[in-house]
Structure 1
Amino acid sequence: MNLTDFEALSFDCYGTLIDWEAGIASVLSRWAVTHDLTMTDEQLLTAYSNHEAQAEAEHPTDLYPQILARAMRGLGTQLGVPVSDDEAETLAVSVPDWPAFPDSAEALERLSRRYRLIILSNVDRASFSSSNKRLGVRFTSILTAQDIGSYKPSPRNFDALAREVERLGLADGRLLHVAQSLFHDHVPAKAAGLPTVWINRRHDTPGWGATPQPPANVTPDWTFTSMAAFAAAVDAEHH
């Protein structure tokens, strides 16, 4: 396979294009300080990760802000620290404040010259709309958990992606899925028969952070440490 073989790229957003760990940690660290909880950002994210995944699995039709609030309450219960309604709401409404990775917008603009770009994201439409402003590119299609009624890694989300690819008239084998999370994206994408690119944003940080450990070994077809490196590889193949 070559990167030039594809006509469309489907992207995870949070963790891949938007720095969700920075956004979540910003809220959790302030909460921890308020309650005299001495944990690093990494420890907070690791403890948080399974609560978000559990909330998404158990409440697949909840909007993402509700998922965030549930996850924070679950974290508080685990750590024996109270989470007030206001504190849970602070995380729930924080997505528009989450920063884009510095290379995301430019890389997407470069990639948009060669591919159709699709979003497949565990988020609601309103939250993604705010993030999209930071990314600065027009996506061909935007598929959210709100639209699909479930959250990745559910196979339903990749079934919805397959239907969208068919609707767009793309031939089989012409879609490449691009994501950071092995748990949310690479394991189910591979199960759905998709080739994948791993944007390994945490390449210099041990552990899994805000993402649960993947339930199975998975081997992406390409690995890059940034979106900039991925876009550069695409440009190099086209020359």
Structure 2
Amino acid sequence: MRWITFDCFGTLIDWRHGIGTSLELIAPAKGDDLLAAYLRHENDVEAAAPRTRYREVMAEALRRACADLDVTLNDDDASVLATTLPYWPVFGEVGAELSALRTAGLRLALLTNCDRDLIAQTLRRLPVPFDAVVTAEDVGAYKPDEAHFERFRKAYEPAEWVHVAQSHFHDMIPARRLGIRRVWINRHGERPADAGVVREVLPDLRGLLAAVERA
């Protein structure tokens, strides 16, 4: 079986747009600043409490971001990201590229830092079906912990496997440690110090099938 695993948010779903526009609802004109502050905190919250549900991770990271910027956050507004997450937009090229992988006979899976109920709602927005999903809730850990990858490998024993993701930190680094072939979707033009360890790099998913075959 030939498998392609994906990160979801940032790779298939435009989570920065989703978070930024959601935060505008509670703090008009401060969405971009809150997004930047939120991104600084989310990894720390996940690392400190890896068994915490993702909806609670988002709420706590938002509380910290608001505190940084002296933004008043009402208690019932802390759940805004979990509420809006199912409506965050899919990147425009995703449908065609996933369909091409399907046509080529590849199986598709998600390895996501998310809860089961939230990813179930997101799957309804993705334009092709997925054959498997591994969540942070399933493994009791958040990437860059290797638990997602280990669970997938044990459950599906892929004969060939390429992992595709936007986050160098959360996905490329652990995939490299485990010897998994990988394609980096570098949507933000990042230049990490060890970027050279990923041979296949694309600015978005266009041309993904060819990159997967090279990998």
TM-score by length of 2: 0.89
| Correspondence for 1:48 | 38
CA change 1:40–1:124 in 2 (3 A) is closer
The amino acid across from 1:44 in the alignment is L
Q: Partners in 2 of 1:28 and 1:40 — Cα distance?
A: 5
Deviations 1:195-234 (A, max 9, x none): 210112223xxx6xxxxx96x6242121111212213x25
| Correspondence for 2:204 | 226
Q: Partners in 2 of 1:184 and 1:236 — Cα distance?
A: 23
**Aligned partners of 2:183 and 2:211 also within 8 Å:** no
Q: 1:17 aligns with which of 12, 27, 33?
A: 12
Q: What pairs up with 1:1-239 in 2 under 5 angstroms?
A: 7-33=2-28, 39=30, 41=32, 43-114=33-104, 115-166=106-157, 170-171=158-159, 174-203=160-189, 217-218=194-195, 219-231=197-209, 233=210
Q: Partners in 1 of 2:31 and 2:73 — Cα distance?
A: 18
Give 4+ residue runs of structure 1 displaced > 6 Å after superposition: none
1:68 Cα deviation after fit: 0.8
* Cα RMSD for the two superposed structures: 2.3
1:144 Cα deviation after fit: 0.7
SS in 2 for 1:134: coil
**Aligned partners of 1:105 and 1:134 also within 8 Å:** no
**Aligned partners of 2:6 and 2:110 also within 8 Å:** yes
The amino acid across from 2:152 in the alignment is L
Q: Partners in 1 of 2:82 and 2:126 — Cα distance?
A: 21
Tell me the matched-pair count: 212
CA change 1:235–1:46 in 2 (3 A) is closer
**Aligned partners of 1:118 and 1:141 also within 8 Å:** yes
The amino acid across from 2:85 in the alignment is V
Give me the identity figure in percent.
37
Q: Unaligned 5+ residue runs, structure 1?
A: 1-5, 208-212
Q: Partners in 1 of 2:41 and 2:125 — Cα distance?
A: 27
1:39 Cα deviation after fit: 4.6
Q: Unaligned 5+ residue runs, structure 2?
A: none
Q: Partners in 1 of 2:212 and 2:49 — Cα distance?
A: 41
**Aligned partners of 1:195 and 1:221 also within 8 Å:** no
**Aligned partners of 2:162 and 2:212 also within 8 Å:** no
SS in 2 for 1:135: coil
TM-score by length of 1: 0.81
| Correspondence for 1:210 | none
The amino acid across from 1:145 in the alignment is A
Q: Partners in 2 of 1:221 and 1:18 — Cα distance?
A: 23
The amino acid across from 1:226 in the alignment is D
Q: Partners in 2 of 1:235 and 1:60 — Cα distance?
A: 31
1:188 Cα deviation after fit: 1.1
The amino acid across from 1:217 in the alignment is D
Deviations 1:156-206 (A, max 9, x none): 22222221332xxx23xx111000001111111111111210112223xxx
Deviations 1:34-85 (A, max 9, x none): xxxx6562x4332211211111112212221111111100111222222211
SS in 2 for 1:56: helix
